[in-house]
Every structure is written in structure tokens, then in C-alpha cells.
Chains A and B, each alone.
Chain A
Amino acid sequence: MTNEQAVADIINLSEGDSSLANEIRELGGEELLECIQCAKCAAACPLALAGFSFFNKRVIQAVLMGLRDALLDDSSIWACQSCNRCTEICPREVNPFEIIQAMRRVAIREFALPTLSIEGLKSLYDTGHAVYLAGAGNTRNKVGLPEKPPSTVANPEALKELQAILRKTALAELGIIPMEEPGV
């Protein structure tokens, strides 16, 4: 996946996937069709400001035109900071951030997610933390804290509960990470 190449040479609208818009709306991007492409969101979007090829406004237009492959082939959406400035300023209440999230949800269903996200999910499942540094215990001790924070990492029962909860979510159906019950 890249985020460098703007868009493929000529976009063939006839190959556009008309189901994409509905899928996005079902996966949290309810207000998709309210967008009139004014680009206000893009004016303040870190993705646009940093030079990513797809950012809120452009993701939305690509979704509206059904350009599933173009979106899946590009990693821009995974760089979204979730800063929500777009949500704050959108005059159409589209919630552009949520459209990007919904596009991530589409991508995940097609297993088009970056390794980093898989690692994050695996870490979440295995430890209860998306970011977990095994060697952090020393640093924690150094500043006078116990080796483990009072979270799932210090509390096996809580971790088991979290894992059981995660097994009841869509994550389990998608099969992105191994989610066997421990000890089974």
C-alpha cells in the first residue's frame, strides 16, 4: 500500500462499486450523502496538510463514486489522526472522521489493513493495551512506579474478561488475529 501516488491514471466510473456508499453508511458513516464536497474539512485536515493522497473530502468523493480499489490500495486512511477537527467544523454535519473510520472498517473486512493495525489489535487482545512495551517495567520502576500499571496487565481476570468480550465483537468474526480462548 502507498500513500504517494495521487490517483490511478484515469478513473473508470463505470467500474465504480455502487454498494460502497451503503456499506460506509452501515458501518458508521451515516451522514455520507450530506456531503457537498465544499472541502472545508480538508482545509484543516492533518492528512491534507501533510500531503497524503486521500483525506476526508477526497475519501468521501471516492466513496461516493464507488472507488473501492483506489481506497483499498492506499494507506492514507490509516494515517488519520482522529483529531476530529473536521467533525467540529463540518457545516453539513457529515462527520468526515467517521467516514474515514467507516472506510477503515470496510478495509478491515477485506483484510486491507496495515501490519501496524494488526499488531495493535493483537496487542489489545493479548494484553488489554494497543501499545504495550514489554520492557517498560524497568522504566516504571525507575520513576518509582510499580512494574505494571493497575490495568489488565496486572490483573489476569480482567484480561480474561476483556478477551471474552472481544470474542463477542465483530473482531472475532473477521479472523484478523488469533483469538483462541486461553488454555483451550
Chain B
Amino acid sequence: MPRIGVYICHCGENIAGAVNVEEVRKYAEQLPGVVLARNYLFMCSDPGQELIKQDIRNGLIDRVVVAACTPRTHEPIFRKAVEDGGLNKYLLEMANIRDQDSWPHWQDKEGATEKAKKLVASAVAKAAYLEPLEDRFVEVTRASLVVGGGVSGMFAALDLANMGYKVYLVEKNPSVGGNMAKLDKTFPTNDCSACILTPIMVQVGTHPNIELLTYSEVESVEGSVGNFKVKVRKKQTYIDWDKCTGCGDCVNACPAKVPNEFNEGMNNRKAIYIEFPQAVPKRAVVDIEHCLNCAKRVMGTQPRIHSKTGEPILAPCEKACKTGACDRSRAYNPEGELIELNVGTIIIATGYKVMDKEPFKEYSPQSPNVITAMQLERILSATGPTDGQLKRPSDGEKPKTIAFISCVGSRDKRFHTYCSKVCCMYMLKEARLIKEKYPNINIYIFFIDVRTGGKDFEEYYNYCRNLGIRMLRGRVGAVDELPGDRLRVRAFDVDLGAPVELEADLVVLATAIEPAPALEELGRKMGITCGSEGFLKELHTKLYPVETSVKGIYIAGCAQGPKDIPESVSQARAASSAAAVPLTLGKVIVEPLISEVNQRKCSGCGTCVQLCPYSAISLVEDKGKLHSKIDEALCAGCGICAAACPSGVITLHGFTNTQIFAQIKALAS
């Protein structure tokens, strides 16, 4: 007969404010198998834990039930106490009488007390059937995968690489750099973005511990912390990167014109292109969709021979290539190459995308002079479509009046309810860069709130006001197109209490920051959910901001939510440090709360194999008979197989049928 000790926590007022703790204690005392029941103000405090340890040491109890808060945060603490007392740590059961009882039933004290009794009874019933289990340890693959080669991903990769770990850095574009590479200057110090980013890109590109996989995407992720198997698709570049020197001769020769993504569609690139001048790696890729196949040089076909010269007729790109990197005769696999990586931890740093202007019909997006702030960023950049000259798109004239419109798609229930956080500062920055260069240009910023929380940000804002940038509180309601490529901006000046109109030459929309495309799909591949706003969810907003619900997978930068460069870098470095912990330990504990098949009784129907979300179960043949086998390293203990097994021969340790039925019986009685 087990001897169960029940410990009921007041959690200060959190539980005791709704639950009559003493009544629950008295009730617990007379439950079958219970030899003692105690309550205490804070069970998780040292003296609280000591109660448990002493009772075990004194030989009074051999099973422990703690009725307190959530096992999510506190189970490890009480398991440790049980172990320190001298019992197997899995001889502990928790009843969550706070999150599941006192909090939701705060107004109904009587009901809360009754429910607490039920929850305690159920935990006690299960505790009677608890069995000792042993932890297992799994060796860790000492390598990490970082998904996303923006400033966050690069810093995460560099930190891990500098700690001595192998890092695979996967980037979907041909070059690392991300959105930051597109920026002209960066607030609050106005450093040239390329100047501070390029050295980081170069370090990433040359680090002996970093394997750069650009123009690549993650296809699937299997396994668990310590041992993830990741399939990465290297997209087809149609250029032999071992031979390509990034000279750009092929690019110059290519006659095709494709809207240039790097310049936010404001000019054209070629079908064969190098993403941007500072690209790392500086290699060309062929955008096969837009390739004109000049001289009928479809990839993988042999060239026709000139009837007179007898020479092969080549496309301009391959003709221009001096190294043979561009060779259209080669039979490239359009699917690229699928490679498999083994890593111990993963950091997701896939960044963000800025909304485009099209959805905002009230702001006349059809006008070329209505642009997004990211487009203005490219206009201001020396590597942009105007070589850094301030020209409005319609006619290349320098604008005399510029209006910025804030919160376009942010704080907007039609699009994103959240604040994009960086827009106030980037508007001020762009306005300041223009005003400092051209003091006579009139600049208006239409805002709802100026949110400049951040080190040195408010000072930046004050500086901008002092430059004569006009700040006007009032969300713009309409932008009308006027003759002469001009625009009429209409708002209500809250401070004057009157409707206002402004004729502008250029209207800049501070469009919202959105999750990167397919972020949700990537999350699904890894078992991480997105919040309602579409960004990946961290494990705990305050305490575990870089961890996710999947052990061993971490997040950094705007994949988790809008943030600026300083915050992104901080979070990236936090994530790399968290991701290094399992690598440094070299092994990870795998809880024994996993499924086991009674192989002798298994009929080999394969139902469980299909259902396992972790691909942990396979059918094996033994003496001419099929039966399922569970890979302990892959099993996450979800219990789907145990529930589904038609023969009832799968046991989920820690949640056995006997234990669960006992709990249900206690709850129902």
C-alpha cells in the first residue's frame, strides 16, 4: 500500500484567496492511501520543499502530491525536492489548483474549494499507481542550424561559430544581409547600414565554422533537441558557384528585364543577376522563370553550330563568362539539391517583410509618387535605383514637399492590430536624412502617437523636431491625385482641432512590418505555432523570450515580432547563447515519459506508424512477424499511439491506462 503525502500551497493569496486551503487539506487527509496532508504559504520556497524532504527522510511517505500551480514552471522544482528527499523523482504528481481553479473561479470561493478537492483526489488516485522511472540521456550533435541570414541570423551564427560549434546558415536569397542590407542609414546613430553590415556579412562568409547555404530553404525537420535531422533544399542557381567569381560580366550581357526585388521593384535587374553589390557570397544566379533562353540556349541543351564559322552559338551570358561558371549545356536539376543536416539545436531568424502599398486604396497607391518607406530607403541609398539622388518616381524631380503617413497597416484591425514599433523611428530617420541634406524641403509627418521608446530615441525625435520637421497628430484619411503628379494629403490636425490639407510631391507610407512569407509553414515544420499576429510564439514572453515550445529550437529577431536592429541583435545573441547550452552539455536528458510497445502482443497493424507526428515508430520484422518499434530518441511522449492502438499494447509511461482511469474515477465520484 503506497503512503502518499499531500502538500497544498496557498501561493500567497493566489490560491488561498479563492480556495479554502485548510478545508482541502482536511479532505485530502482522509483520501485512500494518504498518510499526511499539509499546507504551506509557498510550497516552492525552501522551507516548503523542506517539508516534503523531511517527511520522505523520516520514512513517513513514499509518494508525493503537490497541489499548487502549474507543472510547466514548478514540476522540475518539486521533482528535485522529491529526489533530494531520497525518492525516485517520478513518484510526484501535481494538481494545478491555481491556473485551473483559483484563478478562473475567483468569484466562486465555494465552487473553487470543491474543485480543488476533486483535483487533489484525482492526483492522489494517480499517485497510488506511480512507478519509478529512469531518465535517459541522448548524445547531442554539436552543430547548430540558423535559418535566415539577416542581421539576427548572422549574429546568432557568428556567436555559435565563435564558441567553436559548427553552424549551418540557411538563407533563401542568393546573399546574406536580409532587410538591413536594403537600409540607407540606421537609427539612432545614423550609421551607414552597409558600412556596419558588410563586415558582418564577410565574417559570416569566411568563418571556418560556418557553412553558408544561401539560395536554400528548409524543407523538413525531424528529431528532437540534440538530434535534429533537417532537409535543406539548395535551389538551382544554374551557375557553377565554384567557378563564379562574381565579376558581373554575365549580368551585363543579359538582355532580360525583371523588377528588382532588392530595390523594392523601383528598377529592373537582369534574369541573371547578383543580388546587390556587397552580396555575400558574391555569386550570380539565373532566375530561370524570366530567362529568355537567348540563342535558344535552353538549359541542358547543346548549342547549335554556326553554319559558316563552325563555332557553337552561345547565349550572351555564357559568352561573357570567362570562367566557365555559366554553362548552359550542363544538365541542371531544376529542383536543385536536397541535403540533410544533423544538428543539435536550431535558431529561427527569418525576419520580416514590409507591407506593400496596394491594399491602401485611400492613399492612392496607383500614384507612382506614393511609395513605401522601404522604397524611400532604396531611393536614399547610394546603391538604389537613383544612386542615392532624391527623386520622385513619376518624373525624377526632386520633391519640394514630402508627407509621411504613419501606422499604415499597423494598429489597423483590417490588417495588423499590433504596433510595428520601428516606423516612428524610421520615418524620423528618413525625414532627418532628407532635411539635413535639403533644408528647404518641407517635411510633414502625420502621426497618431510618436513612439520613440528606446535608448537615445527620444533625443533623436527632439533633434528632428528642431530641424523643422513638422509633426502633425492625425491619421491621414485620404490622398488625392492632383494634376502635375502632385498629391493632396488630407487629415485632421488634432492639435488645432481642424481639418487640414497638404499638397505634396511625394507621399511616404510607413507600412507595417509583417511576418516573413511562409513563416507559419516553417513553424509547422518545426512544431512551433504562431500567435494571432502571425509571428512565432516564444515559450514565455518575459522569462523565456528566445525559447519555443519545442526544446532545442529558438527564435530571434523579427520572426518573433517587430523589433529594431539593436533589439534584433540582442535577441539573436541571447538565442545563440541559449542554443549553445545543449551543445556545451553534450547530452540532453530525455524524460522517460515515452511510449513502449509490448512487442510480443503487437499485431503489426501499423496504425501507430501512420499516426506518429514525430516519425518515431516503424514496423520491423522479427522472426517473420511484423511489429512496431518506437525510437526512444524520437518519441516525444504525446500518447497518440497509446490511445489509438487497437490491441491496447502500447503503454505511455507516466500516463498509463491504470493511472488515467484511476484519475477519471476520482474525478467522477
Contact = CB atoms under 8 A, between A and B. Distances in A.
Contacts of A11: 493, 496, 498-501
A61 B499 contact: no
B502 to A, nearest CB: 4
B466 A14 contact: no
B500 to A, nearest CB: 4
Interface stretch (B41-49, B176-184, B270-278, B468-476): B468-476
A8 B472 CA distance: 18
A134 interface: no
Interface residues of B, number: 22
B579 to A, nearest CB: 42
A35 B461 CA distance: 11
A14 B502 contact: yes
Contact of A10 (B442, B468, B473, B498): B498
Residue of B444, B472, B500, B501 with most partner-chain A CB within 10 A: B500
Interface in A93-139: none
Contacts, number: 63
B501 A14 contact: yes
Interface string A1-45: 000001111111110001001000000000001111101000000
A33 B503 CA distance: 23
A176 interface: no
A9 B262 CA distance: 44
Contacts of A7: 496-498
B501 A36 contact: no
B462 interface: yes
Interface string A32-63: 01111101000000000000000001100110
A65 interface: yes
B470 to A, nearest CB: 6
Contact of A34 (B444, B462, B473, B500): B462
Nearest to B450: A36
A36 B493 CA distance: 14
B495 interface: yes
A8 to B, nearest CB: 8
Interface residues of A, number: 24
Contacts of A57: 495
Given A11-B493, A18-B442, A36-B465, A64 B470 contact: yes
A7 to B, nearest CB: 4
B480 to A, nearest CB: 13
Contacts of A36: 450, 462, 465, 471
Nearest to A12: B501
A13 B496 contact: no
B150 to A, nearest CB: 33
B473 to A, nearest CB: 7
B496 A61 contact: yes
A33 B496 CA distance: 16
Contacts of B472: 13, 65
A105 B498 CA distance: 25
B477 to A, nearest CB: 12
Contacts of B496: 7, 11, 58, 61-62, 65, 67
A78 to B, nearest CB: 19
A65 B497 contact: no
Interface in B490-531: 493, 495-503
A144 B606 CA distance: 119
B236 interface: no
B491 to A, nearest CB: 9
A58 B501 contact: no
B553 to A, nearest CB: 43
Nearest to A58: B496
Q: Which of A13, A39, A58, A62 has the most CB of B within 10 A?
A: A13
A150 B168 CA distance: 93
A48 to B, nearest CB: 12
Contacts of A6: 497-498
Contact of A65 (B401, B493, B503): B493
A109 B177 CA distance: 57
Contacts of B501: 10-14
A61 B465 contact: no
Contacts of B470: 64-65
Contact of B401 (A8, A9, A14, A58): A14
Contacts of A13: 444, 472, 500-502
Nearest to A13: B502
A161 to B, nearest CB: 42
Nearest to B494: A37
26 contacts: A7-B498, A10-B498, A11-B493, A11-B496, A12-B500, A12-B501, A12-B502, A13-B444, A13-B472, A14-B502, A14-B503, A18-B442, A18-B468, A33-B465, A34-B462, A36-B465, A37-B473, A37-B495, A58-B496, A61-B495, A61-B496, A62-B496, A64-B470, A65-B472, A65-B493, A65-B500
The 9 closest A-B pairs by CB, nearest first: A13-B502, A7-B498, A61-B495, A14-B503, A11-B500, A33-B466, A10-B499, A37-B495, A13-B500
Given A9-B499, A13-B472, A67-B496, 5 more contacts: A8-B498, A10-B500, A11-B493, A34-B462, A65-B493
Interface of A: 6-14, 18, 21, 33-37, 39, 57-58, 61-62, 64-65, 67
